[in-house]
Amino acid sequence: MSRRGQGAKSVTRSVRYGSRRLAYRLRFAETARLSISVHPDLSVTVRAPCRTLPTSVDARVRARAPWILRQQRRFERFHPLPVVRRFVSGETHLYLGRQYRLRIRRGPESVRLSGPFLWVHARDPSPRTVQRLLRLWYRDRARVALQRRVNALLRVLPWLAEREPRFRLAELKQRWGSCGRSGLITLNVELVKAPTLCIDYVLAHELCHLVERRHSRRFFQLMKRAMPGWERARDRLNVAVR
């Protein structure tokens, strides 16, 4: 917890709520009332009147902790948040949970992994061209890698294959996957950037929706049966792909 006084424009503080510690950014301003905001990146900011005691702000944040946590969980559903990529040599890009350093060279168009590097060759190695080539490469890799994980899951969980699941890939902005009423499962291409454990969690989640549409008690029983400890994989997924 920061111990800086009210003279600072913005300070970082935290409060204990149960077994958790909630961090927030505190800013004092010429305002009549205290306000708490939860942002899409899960950060929390508090705007308080200038003469408010920091301990009083702590008490207000602690009292509002249940609401703060609900807002953070709501925003988690829309992760991964977009990351600004410049598509230049030296950047790190993810594939199956591992980071690879981007290397760009002139030559016939190709993308390949070699050791810790993700090599992109292009006659016009501009960021726009590199972005296009990587987009196609990730889609091709996702088609193979995700189908491989689907097959692996169905071998050990045959009861999930009773509905003959069908899959398609899409560039989803706010979800990792979805299961339509027709039984068609849509998977986010970005999922191929996540660790295998996280991929299996999303697949198990959507496969269980073939058996139970709602997030009911039965659904979570199915999830526990399909993937014991799935909560850890979910929490890791929300921070694994950036």
**For the chain, which residues make up each domain, given as ranges?**
10-76, 92-240
What rounded mean pLDDT belongs to the chain? 89
What's the rounded Cα separation, in Å, for the pair 167 and 66?
Answer: 37
Note whether 149 and 143 are within 8 A (CB): no
Q: What percent of the chain has pLDDT over 70?
A: 91
Closest residue by Cα to residue 122 from 111, 112, 113, 136: 111
Residue range 92-240, CATH number: 3.30.2010.10
pTM to 2 decimals? 0.66
Per-residue pLDDT band at 82 (split at 50, 70, 90): low
Note whether 139 and 131 are within 8 A (CB): no
Q: What is the pLDDT of residue 242?
A: 63
Residue 199 CB-density burial (10 A; 0-12 exposed, 13-18 middle, 19+ buried): buried
Q: Which residue has the higher pLDDT, 26 or 161?
A: 26
Q: Which residue intervals of 9-159 are DSSP H helices?
A: 54-63, 65-76, 127-156
Q: Which residue has the higher pLDDT, 51 or 159?
A: 51
What's the rounded Cα separation, in Å, for the pair 169 and 179?
Answer: 12
Q: What is the pLDDT of residue 7?
A: 43
Note whether 72 and 42 are within 8 A (CB): yes
Q: What is the pLDDT of residue 6?
A: 42
- Report the relative pairing of strands 44-49 and 20-29 from DSSP bridges: parallel
Residue 29 has pLDDT above 80, yes or no: yes
Most distant pair of Cα atoms in the chain: their distance: 65
Q: What is the pLDDT of residue 78?
A: 63
Note whether 141 and 95 are within 8 A (CB): yes
Note whether 13 and 53 are within 8 A (CB): no
Residue 112 has pLDDT above 80, yes or no: yes
Q: What is the pLDDT of residue 172?
A: 86
Residue 3 has pLDDT above 60, yes or no: no
- Report the relative pairing of strands 184-188 and 166-170 from DSSP bridges: parallel
